[in-house]
Amino acid sequence: MAALKLNPMISKMEESYTVAIFSKVSNMKSRGEKVNGALCVGQPDFPPPPEAIKATAEAAVQGLTSYTAVTGTLELRQAISEYLQKYKQVTYSTDEILVACGGKQVIYQAMMALCQEGDEVIVPAPYWTSYPDIVKLSGASPVIMETLASSGYAIDATKLAATITPKTRMLIVCNPSNPTGCAMSKQELEAIAEVLRRPENQHVLVLSDEIYERICYDGLEHASFATLKDMWSRTLTINGFSKAFSMTGYRLGYLAAQKDIVKAVSKLQSQITSCASSIGQHAGIAALKCDMSYIDARVVELQEKRDLAMSLLAKISDVQCPKPSGAFYLFPDISAYFGRRTPDEETIEDGVQLCLYLLQKYQVALVPGIAFGNPKCLRLSYAATKENITETRQDTALKKAYLRGFGSS
């Protein structure tokens, strides 16, 4: 049989590491193996708001089961517009909003619509695992710009100014960040905007991924990038229902941007998925209008879980981790353990090997930092039960493999 001929684009891209690990965990579970997969996936462990669940059933019973407008139902776009005005103080009309099957899809479509070969897209690292591959799919080149643990992984404005070239089409700002949990303050965002306002940088757009905007801690007030002076028309605001509303399986997200951008991205969507699920969209309206004290209470719990996970990590020597103020991830630097031997005489050379070791020997799934552009770290999601975080099984991975320090180096 002739070799399977694939689009060269496929060989240029990576499969999503996080999705791959999650599938491995699902396979282990389906073989009846006990595995703690809660810490490897960006999925909250609480149910969606009750109003959203009720609306889901209602939609099916009431026959809201047909295609909707490509851009999403007017009712949902109206609800999004009101939400953004009320909570983010940013004004978008209903034709400046596009509803899609998740934030991931709308980021992909936006990149395809706006970027092309010869363009550069600045991706601050550590980055959400999908950004570089999505950039590559558009034909543009990802330009990785490091951020430092010592500054809590915030984007450095001076470094940004030095990274922008005449070819820079877009800067990605993920705030709060997956995987670091870094939530940049308005002041830090303002420093970025100041660089972008310079005459030589007027050509740069910003993709502001704000999917974790409701999940901020210690009283930090999240600011939408589009609220900064002169930034509205240059910003593509991305948000969705997967994180604070815990509606990952609904596959619902949106883009808010100037009309011409939304029009172009909608045109692309019309040939890809037509529209997001009608039932999901109905539930999305209810989620945006739900009693937000439900979400606020979940965020308080997440902050407690962050503190619990941080205190457990602090007990492990040679592990560094800045305290995050948003999202629900820790991104500890575990590189001090590379080259050391495990209690069963295996030498762990890198983060991928460490994650495989933890999964195979102790059935705990974590994601190696290389998936996020920093091979020294690994990512742990604490949007799990407190039992999952402390791991009640007798031979816990963190206790046995970490606390014993992998034997000698």
Residues binding ligand PMP (CB under 6 A): 42, 102-104, 128, 174, 178, 209, 211, 240, 242, 248, 253
Minimal distance, residue 117 CB to ligand PMP, in Å? 24
Minimal distance, residue 180 CB to ligand PMP, in Å? 11
Minimal distance, residue 331 CB to ligand PMP, in Å? 13
Closer Cβ to ligand PMP, 253 or 373, answer by number: 253
List phi, psi (to 5°) of 307: -65, -40
Minimal distance, residue 264 CB to ligand PMP, in Å? 20
Q: Rounded to whole angstroms, how far apart are CA atoms 259 and 172? A: 20
Minimal distance, residue 129 CB to ligand PMP, in Å? 8
Closer Cβ to ligand PMP, 118 or 249, answer by number: 249
Closer Cβ to ligand PMP, 41 or 70, answer by number: 41
Residue 10, token pair as written in the block: 């496929």
Closer Cβ to ligand PMP, 121 or 174, answer by number: 174
Minimal distance, residue 262 CB to ligand PMP, in Å? 17
Q: In this structure, which amino acid lies at residue 316?
A: I
Closer Cβ to ligand PMP, 96 or 213, answer by number: 213
Minimal distance, residue 249 CB to ligand PMP, in Å? 9
Residue, CB closest to ligand PMP: 102
Find residue 153's DSSP bridge partners: none
Closer Cβ to ligand PMP, 71 or 396, answer by number: 71
Closer Cβ to ligand PMP, 348 or 370, answer by number: 370
Closer Cβ to ligand PMP, 115 or 316, answer by number: 115
At residue 145, the 3 state secondary structure works out as strand
Residue 41, token pair as written in the block: 């996936």
Minimal distance, residue 95 CB to ligand PMP, in Å? 22
